[in-house]
């Protein structure tokens, strides 16, 4: 997830139960681009014990291949191509989800990246741009170029995060492509992951936004897949997570108010499962200092520390006030994955 899944966040997630592998934030690729140093750190300094794939976004074939070759000099698990980001500022540049309008261009890009990647080459995409007329053709290109793994978000680019997820299209992809398929889109809990895998026959699930809300979700998925009791999370556990995340994301020289504002980006998601009224979110969004932020956390999370943190987001408690703003997700950028 862009501006989320950095080295610090990966480390915090791994503490509560790491996914099988991570994807970096996307490396922006164009004629003048060089791999961003802060994203490279999530590969070079990775201590999670899990592989990390380097995610690319771009359309210039020569420079995509050049960047892939350069990134493969680092200890990355493989190269991932983003063909799903639904942010208008991205798809208007014909990258991310914008590529889904041009199967012929996808054919060229996949061919070039497959040639540049002797190891694992993966793709994440949506089911289409504003419709699904190219869906089967693109799946056939996934087969043609021997892509090793497909992560599929079951919405079109234009549907962003508003519609229901079309899991039937994920099932169609599972039946059509040779490689494993990961189901993505509204994987909100371990129970949802179990249901989606049963419905789609996918090899696993990719989880983005809901790993911000609930970093225990990967552990819980493994437990559910194995038929075991699922870890119960309390509000006191959530208070520990917030403190750990605050410390991990602290940067030298970053003003306190900016750090608090950065935390609000994460807590907008965490708050979806704290209380049904949205009171935590209301109070948290109005803080400007570390002391004020943690006073709100203590008041809402430690008053009843044994209270259960909801597995699913409470209905009507939204992560962001403006629903038109794209939320971080698998196709939005970098993700975490767990296989069944």
User: Residue 283: is its pLDDT beyond 50?
Assistant: yes
User: Greatest CA separation found in the chain?
Assistant: 58
Structure tokens at 114: 């497959």
Helix (H) or strand (E) holding 288: none
Catalytic residue status for 297: no
C-alpha to C-alpha distance for 232 and 227, rounded to whole angstroms: 15
C-alpha to C-alpha distance for 171 and 201, rounded to whole angstroms: 6
Region 296-325: what's the mean pLDDT? 83
What's the N-to-C CA distance of the chain in angstroms?
Answer: 22
Phi, psi of 14 (to 5 degrees): -60, -30
Mean pLDDT score across all residues of the chain: 93
User: Residue 325: is its pLDDT beyond 80?
Assistant: no
Region 22-33: what's the mean pLDDT? 96
With H, G, I as helix, E, B as strand and everything else as coil, classify residue 179: coil
Please report which confidence band the pLDDT of residue 339 belongs to, taking 50, 70 and 90 as the band edges.
low
Among the listed ranges 22-26, 243-247, 329-333, which one has the minimum average pLDDT value? 329-333
Of the candidates 85, 221, 297, 333, the residue annotated as catalytic is 85
> What's the pLDDT at 332?
38
The verdict on pTM exceeding 0.85 is yes
> What's the pLDDT at 9?
97
User: Residue 291: is its pLDDT beyond 80?
Assistant: yes
Most confident of 90-99, 132-141, 320-329: 132-141
Please report which confidence band the pLDDT of residue 3 belongs to, taking 50, 70 and 90 as the band edges.
confident
> What's the pLDDT at 1?
82
């Amino acid at each position: 997830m862009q501006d989320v899944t950095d080295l610090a966040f990966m480390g915090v997630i791994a503490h509560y139960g790491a996914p099988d592998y991570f994807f970096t934030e996307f490396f922006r690729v164009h004629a003048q681009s060089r791999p961003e140093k802060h994203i490279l750190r999530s590969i070079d300094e990775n201590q999670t014990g899990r592989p990390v794939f380097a995610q690319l976004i771009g359309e210039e074939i020569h420079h995509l291949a050049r960047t892939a070759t350069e990134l493969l000099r680092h200890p990355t698990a493989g190269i991932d191509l983003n063909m799903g980001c639904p942010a208008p500022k991205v798809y208007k540049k014909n990258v991310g989800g914008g590529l889904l309008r041009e199967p012929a261009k996808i054919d060229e890009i996949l061919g070039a990246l497959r040639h540049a990647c002797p190891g694992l080459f993966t793709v994440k995409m949506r089911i289409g741009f504003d419709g699904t007329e190219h869906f089967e053709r693109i799946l056939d290109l996934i087969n043609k170029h021997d892509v090793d793994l497909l992560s599929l978000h079951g919405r079109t680019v234009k549907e962003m995060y508003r519609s229901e997820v079309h899991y039937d299209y994920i099932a169609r992809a599972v039946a059509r492509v040779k490689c494993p398929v990961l189901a993505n889109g509204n994987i909100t809990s371990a129970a949802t992951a179990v249901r989606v895998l049963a419905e789609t026959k996918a090899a696993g699930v990719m989880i983005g936004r809901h790993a911000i809300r609930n970093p225990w979700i990967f552990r819980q998925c493994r437990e559910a897949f194995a038929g075991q009791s699922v870890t119960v999370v309390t509000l006191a556990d959530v208070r520990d997570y917030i403190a750990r995340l605050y410390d991990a994301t602290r940067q030298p020289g970053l003003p306190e108010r900016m750090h608090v504002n950065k935390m609000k980006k994460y807590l907008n998601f965490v708050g979806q499962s704290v209380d049904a009224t949205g009171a935590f979110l209301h109070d948290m969004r109005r803080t400007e200092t570390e002391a004020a932020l943690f006073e709100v956390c203590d008041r809402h999370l430690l008053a009843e520390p044994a209270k259960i943190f909801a597995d699913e987001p409470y209905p009507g408690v939204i992560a962001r006030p403006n629903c038109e703003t794209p939320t971080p997700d698998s196709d939005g950028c970098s993700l975490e994955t767990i296989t069944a």
